[in-house]
């Protein structure tokens, strides 16, 4: 009976591809192959490309247990993803951005969804105690986020999507929400709005405090009436739709609305339209855009965009630098909002 031959000439069917297999196929030394797959920058790019191409064509899968025993590294980064996100496309774009950033590196991504935020600290504790990742990305940070404190105390590599109020600096990448709020207020003021309402979600995050503070300052500068509706007053889509219906019959009602969430915007607009209001005429609205969904549904609404895919890539870049020992002070960046004025 004939046996299936592999590229290394062995007769065993479907053997495990090892570093030695790649070395035999490429004609390189075992140490060179090992260094190349670990991301060794001292090697020529031609050599690294040759090893990467051979590894991919052979279907090489690293022995993570062996790597961890030899180096103490897992070659894994973990994304602790808040499950209560208000954007319909946030998770997919974030994961794709991270995946694109680690492509060609030795790292793999583990996604840990958190549907109850109070359990998130337990997830971080598990990662720290068992060293299941070399670094962690967290989202939706609070001013005194317990998860951040835990990882600072453990001197464990991490980066947060959002800022905190800790005295000790830590790596972060964040949407410049203060600019979002002030830009939106200025836009509404330029369109003649006199009574502006900010609709915003979770008041436990640092993002909430940054936006509301900037909103109050901007409306005060513009000399217009300010009102804030936070997530504690209307949480479910049905409640937000009812809110929009109620706002439509208020006298006087807000003539300008700023929303920090696509999901909240969709529900609110449903109520405003049911109440007979015409967007762009009876009420002006600006929302934070994180996907292409709302421009398709309401192509005339103004928005200010956050590029979540790019945020995933930047968070990964910062984390990998932190894992390699870069100083924290060099790993803090902000993404500038991009206005899309359509009406």
The more confident residue out of 77 and 13 is 77
pLDDT-derived band at 66, boundaries 50, 70, 90: low
The lowest-confidence range among 173-187, 195-209, 286-300 is: 195-209
| Residue % of the chain over a pLDDT of 90 | 59
Average pLDDT over residues 176-196: 97
338 with 288: CB under 8 angstroms?
no
> Could you read off the pLDDT of 81-124 as tens digits, one per residue?
876 656 678 889 999 999 999 988 889 999 998 777 666 788 99
Per-residue CA distances from 158 to 152, 154, 246, 321 (Å): 9, 11, 44, 10
Q: Can you give the pLDDT at residue 94? A: 94
The lowest-confidence range among 3-17, 159-173, 240-254 is: 3-17
CA 284, CA 166: separation in Å to the nearest integer? 37
SS3 assignment, position 53: helix
> Could you read off the pLDDT of 289-333 as tens digits, one per residue?
999 899 999 999 999 999 999 999 999 999 999 999 999 989 999
Average pLDDT over residues 237-259: 93
pLDDT over threshold 90, residue 44: no
The more confident residue out of 185 and 33 is 185
Q: Of 210, 178, 189, 183, nearest to 340 (Cα)?
A: 183
Q: Can you give the pLDDT at residue 20? A: 84
Q: Which domains does the chain have, with CATH numbers?
A: 1-61 (1.10.260.40), 71-175+308-335 (3.40.50.2300), 177-305 (3.40.50.2300)
pLDDT over threshold 50, residue 2: no
pTM of the model: 0.78
> Could you read off the pLDDT of 123-135 as tens digits, one per residue?
999 999 988 999 9
The lowest-confidence range among 5-9, 72-76, 240-244, 320-324 is: 5-9
Q: Can you give the pLDDT at residue 232? A: 62
Looking at the DSSP bridge assignments, the partners of residue 279 are: 283
The lowest-confidence range among 42-51, 184-193, 307-316 is: 42-51
Sorted by sequence, the CB contacts under 8 Å of residue 308 that are 6+ apart come out as 87, 89, 90, 93, 94, 97, 290, 291
pLDDT over threshold 60, residue 5: no
Q: What are phi and psi of 326, to 5 degrees?
A: -65, 145
User: For the chain, what's the residue count?
Assistant: 343
Q: What are phi and psi of 68, to 5 degrees?
A: -65, -40
Q: Can you give the pLDDT at residue 4? A: 37
User: Mean pLDDT over all residues of the chain?
Assistant: 87
The lowest-confidence range among 1-15, 38-52, 201-215, 303-317 is: 1-15
Q: Can you give the pLDDT at residue 85? A: 58
Q: Can you give the pLDDT at residue 10? A: 43
């Amino acid at each position: 009976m004939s046996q299936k031959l592999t590229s290394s000439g062995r007769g065993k069917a479907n053997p495990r591809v090892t570093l030695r297999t790649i070395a035999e196929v490429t004609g390189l030394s075992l140490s060179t192959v090992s260094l190349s797959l670990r991301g060794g920058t001292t090697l020529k790019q031609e050599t690294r490309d040759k090893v990467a191409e051979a590894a991919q064509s052979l279907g090489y899968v690293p022995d993570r247990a062996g790597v961890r025993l030899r180096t103490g590294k897992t070659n894994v980064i973990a994304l602790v993803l808040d499950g209560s996100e208000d954007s319909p496309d946030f998770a997919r774009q974030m994961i794709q951005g991270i995946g694109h950033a680690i492509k060609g590196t030795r790292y793999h991504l583990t996604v840990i969804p958190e549907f109850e935020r109070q359990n998130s600290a337990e997830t971080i504790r598990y990662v720290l105690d068992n060293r299941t990742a070399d670094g962690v990305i967290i989202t939706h940070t609070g001013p005194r986020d317990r998860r951040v404190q835990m990882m600072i105390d453990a001197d464990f590599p991490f980066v947060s999507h959002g800022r905190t109020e800790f005295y000790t600096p830590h790596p972060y990448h964040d949407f410049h929400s203060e600019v979002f709020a002030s830009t939106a207020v200025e836009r509404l003021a330029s369109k003649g709005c006199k009574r502006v309402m900010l609709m915003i979600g979770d008041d436990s995050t640092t993002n909430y405090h940054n936006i509301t503070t900037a909103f109050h300052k901007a409306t005060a500068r513009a000399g217009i009436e300010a009102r804030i509706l936070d997530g504690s007053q209307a949480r479910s889509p049905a409640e937000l739709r009812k809110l929009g219906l109620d706002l439509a019959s208020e006298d006087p009602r807000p003539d300008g609305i700023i929303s920090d969430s696509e999901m909240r915007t969709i529900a609110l607009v449903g109520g405003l339209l049911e109440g007979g209001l015409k967007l762009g005429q009876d009420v002006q609205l600006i929302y934070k855009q994180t996907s292409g969904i709302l421009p398709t549904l309401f192509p005339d609404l103004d928005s200010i965009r956050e590029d979540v895919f790019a945020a995933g890539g930047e968070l990964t870049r910062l984390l990998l630098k932190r894992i390699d020992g870069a100083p924290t002070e060099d790993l803090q960046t902000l993404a500038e909002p991009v206005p899309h004025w359509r009406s």
